[in-house]
Amino acid sequence: MKKILFSLVALTLVVLLTACGGGENNNDTGNGDNGNETATENNDQTDNEGNDSEETDDGNESASNNGTIDITASNWKFDQEEYTVDAGDVTVQLTNEEGLHGISIEGTDISIEGDGSDSANLEPGEYTIRCSIQCGQGHSDMVATLIVQ
């Protein structure tokens, strides 16, 4: 009986510890930046083609005229603290870089689980973006702001 109980406890611990993929990123490029900067630079080039977005000094994106924002989630953070978009029809695209995440934007009907997108007509204001999937110890830190101008 003790062996069964011990096995169940051990199995539960293994599942809990691996549930959110909290392991190290094994994509080391050898230059100490683990490849994230290149991916961000490529995303910035793609995001800025064909619209009037511009990046501010603090790395946050200023208002985009195409009504689309791209959010990348990794373990216990979003790629930006603030996202800015023009009022009206807004499409939010979520990409999970590490772990499994979802988002809900308070005060809107936007809700995405895993990779995907959702749209809504938004009025000017500030909206809180939260991770909607319990993803581990840093889950409560996954908060960002959507600024609709």
| pLDDT score of 13 | 56
Average pLDDT (84-94) is 97
Report the number of secondary-structure helices (H) and strands (E) in the chain: 2, 9
Q: Residue 105, exposed/middle/buried by CB under 10 A (0-12, 13-18, 19+)?
A: buried
pLDDT interval class at 14 (50, 70, 90): low
| pLDDT score of 11 | 64
Residues in the chain: 149
Domain ranges of the chain: 53-149
pLDDT single digits (tens) 16-40: 545 555 444 444 444 444 444 333 3
pLDDT interval class at 104 (50, 70, 90): very high
CATH architecture of 53-149: Sandwich (2.60)
Q: 106 by DSSP, 3-state: which?
A: coil
